[in-house]
Amino acid sequence: MPLCERSSEAAPVVQDLVNQFDSDRYYDLVANKLYTRQGMNRAPGIGPENPLCREAIYAELQSYGYTAYKDQFDYVDTSGVPRIACNVIAIKPGVRNPDNEIFVVGSHFDSEDNPGADDNATGVAALLEMARIFNQHNFAKTIVFCAFDAEEVYDYYGARRLGSSRYVSQHLNDNIKGMVSVDMIGWQASGSSSNQAYIEGRSTMAVIRNELRLVMQTYGGGIVPVLRSTSGDLSDHVAFANAGFQACLFIEGYFSSNPNYHKLTDYVEMPGYIDWIYAGKMAKTAIAYFATKAEIVDTNSMTTTLFRDEFETSDSANNWLLFEGSANGIPDYTVDWSFDYSTYHSAFNGTTIPPAPNTTNGTTRGLKLTVNNNDITGALAAVSLYPNNLVLSNGYSFKVDMWMNYPGGPGGSGSTGSTETATIGINHSGTRVNWQNGNPSDGLFFGFNGEGGVTDDYLAYAGNAASIPTKLSFAASGLVGVNNTHAFFQTIFPASQFETAGTPGKRWVEVELSQDVNNIVALRMNGHLVALRTNSSPFIAGTVMLGYMDLFASIATPAADAFVIFDNARVEATQPVSAPIINGFGISPGGEFQLQFSGVAGGTYSVLSTTNNLETPIDWTVVGTATEQSPGQFEFIAPDIGTTQRYFRLRQP
């Protein structure tokens, strides 16, 4: 049955954090705090401004509320002279992070024998501004801010990127899920080369490069991201890539054409040199990427689980509305509302299906859909299911475990039926079947084909109230006609036995489709950001959809091997909760404690008290409930509290 509950969850407020970027602060950091004036030198070991800059970064992080630390290390330069370098590091711990997942933002603060305004004070300032903003919020995952030293130098043995290499050597066993080196983001090329940013990394770093590209296309203010696949030793991301972590370089377009690159003229006063608007957009992109990946957890929000179905019994049929369609008008589909998928065995290779990843009770029952099973009525066909009486707008996510199955033997070779596609959608009317041939159609929905040999493994659609849906090109990889050969998907779904790399078939995939309060739609598969787009379609509210469609008039062989299973479907909506605002408090002549505050009209606020020292474990006791004097205005009066020092706090149930 559907379940409604409340819990503390992530709030989709990435744009809010991006909006907190302060261009004046950013300018002040680059121009006045990071030692970028003409004649200055931040070269490690020899530049007099290097240690001054290090201390400035440390002080800045401390002022934001971090417990930053300095990690000093020794090296021998190319002339055999012992040198000292020092990284500056601050950590924003994740608050809901059972797997200790870590995201690292890195920027080197050292320079060549020059002021290094663009290379790389612009990157360090972005790191610092991000750290300032992020310390005002909570995140599910841990974020590490690394200001690296000695990026620009070689040691006696020919090694480079010494600061980042040291950090990686100390953290080889950490669960680092992504690292971005923010390096040179303030100079913009001219003419047709302008308005571009490079996202560089090895081909094996396809996931992080594409995720960063997605974020830039949504939050980067129109700057065009250019993916460049290179294994060159260009920046601090290389040390992470060498250790097997997903890592990439985020850098200005055509950076090697920067006329002041690694020159004495790389100083902030150079007329027309730093493009502050461009640099701000680059910094905002970095902020948005880490806010997206680390998952903002707004403590002033509540998540309501609006709908959940684990398909444990056939009673699930009462929770959904069903619509079907076919090219010849003859219904040809099956729905098994509580299929025991542990009983399935593939006709070709003996594949069995394990419990879904979000199953809480160890059972193996789910929703099984098939279409186009009948040899007589073989035709294009589809089925769509919608939860009963569920209408949503923005600020919600739809999550489900999906198993796409298809006919095929060793090597992943499919047969007829490989055009069968699972569909997951949002913002639907819930009154019609939605599929590629549906007329009319509505909502936004995605298609997933499990078999590796087809042209369209990933599809995206926007409904059309008067016609069939329009194929969309979402930013990640097009998602229209994209197949398993795309490096992004090959990295997410590597080849398993008998299968083809890049496809979501014959494996459990956690799919999340969400629309935040700014109407930004995101698709995630196994936590990887696959698509990101501002929803400019007419369909910005409605219900969610699970479905299955066959886009070719053929019959699967064997038909029993062509199906999708959905399990653990749930819809969660995040709603803001206003924190109370204290308007006044004091002790009356009679010794009563009086408190006045503003809150949510109609809300309930408990008042707790203790006489314990706040520096020791505290035993809070509920002493009463505030009274609403007028809409949203509350008062609490405690009886005579005597002369003992007492502490009070408010709690909203």
225-279 confidence digits (pLDDT tens): 999 988 677 899 999 999 999 999 999 999 999 999 999 999 999 999 999 999 9
Residue listed under structure tokens 């047709």: 192
Paired strand residues for 587: 593
DSSP-derived letter for residue 560 is G
Distance, in Å, from the CA atom of 17 to the CA atom of 249, rounded to the nearest integer, reads 22
Distance, in Å, from the CA atom of 348 to the CA atom of 338, rounded to the nearest integer, reads 24
Q: Average pLDDT in the 113-119 region? A: 97
Distance, in Å, from the CA atom of 413 to the CA atom of 411, rounded to the nearest integer, reads 6
Residue listed under structure tokens 């950013």: 26
Length of the chain (residues): 653
End-to-end alpha-carbon separation of the chain, Å?
26
Above 80 in pLDDT, residue 8?
no
Phi, psi for residue 586 in degrees, rounded to 5 = 170, -175
Cis status of the peptide bond prior to 449, with omega within 30 of 0: no
Run of H or E including 126: helix 122-134
Which pair of structure tokens corresponds to residue 252?
Answer: 């200005």
Least confident span in 370-384, 412-426, 485-499, 520-534? 412-426
Run of H or E including 606: strand 606-610
Which pair of structure tokens corresponds to residue 646?
Answer: 């007492």
Distance, in Å, from the CA atom of 185 to the CA atom of 280, rounded to the nearest integer, reads 9
Spatial CA neighbour of 85 closest among 66, 98, 70:
70
Q: Are 271 and 301 in contact (CB under 8 A)?
A: no
Distance, in Å, from the CA atom of 555 to the CA atom of 379, rounded to the nearest integer, reads 8
Residue 176: the pLDDT is: 98
Which pair of structure tokens corresponds to residue 289?
Answer: 């990427």
Least confident span in 528-532, 560-564, 583-587? 583-587
Handedness of CA 397, 448, 358, 94 (dihedral sign): negative
More confident residue, 400 or 598: 400
Edge-to-edge strands of the sheet including 647-651? Answer: 621-625, 606-610, 647-651
- Please count the CA atoms within 13 angstroms of the CA of 61 that sit on its side-chain side: 26
- Please list, in sequence order, all residues whose beta carbon lies within 8 angstroms of the beta carbon of residue 158, skipping any fewer than 6 positions away: none
Residue listed under structure tokens 């005579």: 640
Give the model confidence (pLDDT) of 395-428 as tens digits: 899 999 999 988 765 434 444 446 789 999 999 9
Residue 464: the pLDDT is: 92
DSSP-derived letter for residue 257 is G
Which pair of structure tokens corresponds to residue 464?
Answer: 């059309």
DSSP three-state, residue 120: helix
Q: Average pLDDT in the 326-349 region? A: 85
Residue listed under structure tokens 């003409």: 38
Burial code (b: 16+ CB inside 10 Å, e: under 16) for 70-101 equals: ebebebebeeeeebebbbbbbebebeebeeeb
Above 70 in pLDDT, residue 616?
no
Alpha-carbon Rg for the chain, nearest whole angstrom, is 28
Distance, in Å, from the CA atom of 299 to the CA atom of 524, rounded to the nearest integer, reads 23
Distance, in Å, from the CA atom of 364 to the CA atom of 540, rounded to the nearest integer, reads 34
pLDDT band with cut points at 50, 70 and 90 for residue 345? confident
Q: Average pLDDT in the 488-501 region? A: 78
Which pair of structure tokens corresponds to residue 104?
Answer: 């690292």
Residue 601: the pLDDT is: 67
Residue 483: the pLDDT is: 79
More confident residue, 6 or 603: 603
DSSP-derived letter for residue 31 is I
Class of residue 643 by CB neighbours under 10 A (exposed 0-12, middle 13-18, buried 19+): exposed
Residue 294: the pLDDT is: 96
Q: What CATH class does 9-297 carry?
A: alpha beta
Paired strand residues for 648: 609
Q: Average pLDDT in the 370-385 region? A: 82
Q: How far is CA 257 from CA 187, 188, 223, in A?
A: 10, 10, 18
Run of H or E including 70: strand 69-76
Least confident span in 88-102, 150-164, 332-346, 543-557? 543-557
Paired strand residues for 296: 139
173-187, 438-452, 518-532: which has the highest mean pLDDT?
173-187
pLDDT band with cut points at 50, 70 and 90 for residue 642? low
Q: What CATH class does 308-576 carry?
A: mainly beta
Residue listed under structure tokens 């939605």: 434
Distance, in Å, from the CA atom of 649 to the CA atom of 645, rounded to the nearest integer, reads 14
Q: Which amino acid is at 285?
A: T
Tell me the pTM.
Answer: 0.81
Q: Cα 474 to chain center, whole Å? A: 16
Burial code (b: 16+ CB inside 10 Å, e: under 16) for 534-548 equals: ebebebbbbbbbbbb
Paired strand residues for 636: 595
Q: Are 427 and 539 in contact (CB under 8 A)?
A: yes
Above 50 in pLDDT, residue 12?
no
Distance, in Å, from the CA atom of 456 to the CA atom of 393, rounded to the nearest integer, reads 30
pLDDT band with cut points at 50, 70 and 90 for residue 303? low
Above 70 in pLDDT, residue 365?
yes
Q: Average pLDDT in the 178-202 region? A: 97
pLDDT band with cut points at 50, 70 and 90 for residue 147? very high
pLDDT band with cut points at 50, 70 and 90 for residue 11? very low
Distance, in Å, from the CA atom of 253 to the CA atom of 250, rounded to the nearest integer, reads 9
Mean pLDDT, all residues of the chain: 87
Max CA pair span of the chain? 91
DSSP three-state, residue 485: coil
Residue listed under structure tokens 């033997």: 409
More confident residue, 284 or 518: 284
Residue 453: the pLDDT is: 60
pLDDT band with cut points at 50, 70 and 90 for residue 497? low
DSSP three-state, residue 461: strand
Which pair of structure tokens corresponds to residue 520?
Answer: 């930004």
DSSP-derived letter for residue 118 is I
Burial code (b: 16+ CB inside 10 Å, e: under 16) for 567-589 equals: bbbbbbbbeeeeebeeeeeeeee
